[in-house]
Amino acid sequence: MVEFITGGIVNLKNPAILFFILGLTVALIRSDLKIPDPIIKMFSYYLMASIGFKGGYEISKTGMNTDLLAAVLFGLFLAGLIPVIAFYILKKVIKLMLLMQVLLPPITVR
C-alpha cells in the first residue's frame, strides 16, 4: 500500500498528469477559465518536450534493441494508416449526409 501511495506521488511530478488534473478540475467545477492562445501554444510545446525528454531518458536507460525498433516502426506505420482510413470513412459519411439531404424532406421544429 505504501508503494502505491509513493508511486502516485511520484507520478504527480509528471507534467502530462498535472495538465490532465488541471483540466479535470476545471471541468468538474464548471469554471469559465479562458486561457489565452499564446499560453495554450506554450503548454502544448512544453508537454511535447516533456514527453519527448521522458521517452528519450527511458530509451537511454534500456538502450536500443529490436523490440524498440519494431515498436517505432509499427507506430510510424499506424501514423500513416489511420489518417488514410479516416479519410475514406469520412468521405463515405459525407456522401451519405449529402444523399440524406437530397432524399429526405427538411424537418421543421415548431
What is the distance, to the nearest Å, from the Cα of residue 98 to the centroid of all Cα atoms in its chain?
A: 30
Residues 43 and 19 in one domain: yes
11 and 36 in a single domain? The answer is yes
Tens digit of pLDDT for each residue in 10-36? 777 777 788 888 888 888 998 887 878
User: What is the CA angle 12-14-19, rounded to 5?
Assistant: 85
Domain span holding position 28: 1-63
pTM of the model: 0.50
The pLDDT of residue 26 is 86
19 with 7, same domain: the answer is: yes
Q: Is the pLDDT of residue 99 over 80?
A: no
Query: Looking at the structure, do residues 43 and 78 belong to the same domain, yes or no?
Result: no
- In this structure, what DSSP letter does residue 9 have? H
Residues 54, 100: one domain? Answer: no
CA–CA dist 58, 34 (Å, integer): 35
User: Are 4 and 58 members of one domain?
Assistant: yes
Q: Are both 77 and 53 inside the same structural domain?
A: no
Within this chain, do residues 99 and 53 fall inside the same structural domain, yes or no? no
Provide the grid cell at 58: 527511458
Q: Which three cell numbers stand for residue 32?
A: 469559465
Show contacts of 36-42: CB within 8 Å, 24+ apart. Answer: none
User: pLDDT tens digit string along 50-84?
Assistant: 888 888 888 888 888 888 899 989 999 999 999 99
Between CA 49 and CA 69 the distance in angstroms is 21
Average pLDDT for residues 76-105, to the nearest whole number? 87
Same domain? For 3 and 39 the reply is yes
Cα distance between residue 15 and residue 44, in whole Å? 11
Q: Are residues 5 and 20 in the same domain?
A: yes
Helices (H), 12-108: 15-28, 37-62, 66-103
pLDDT digits (tens, 9 = 90+) for 41-56: 988 898 889 888 888 8
Total structural domains within the chain:
2
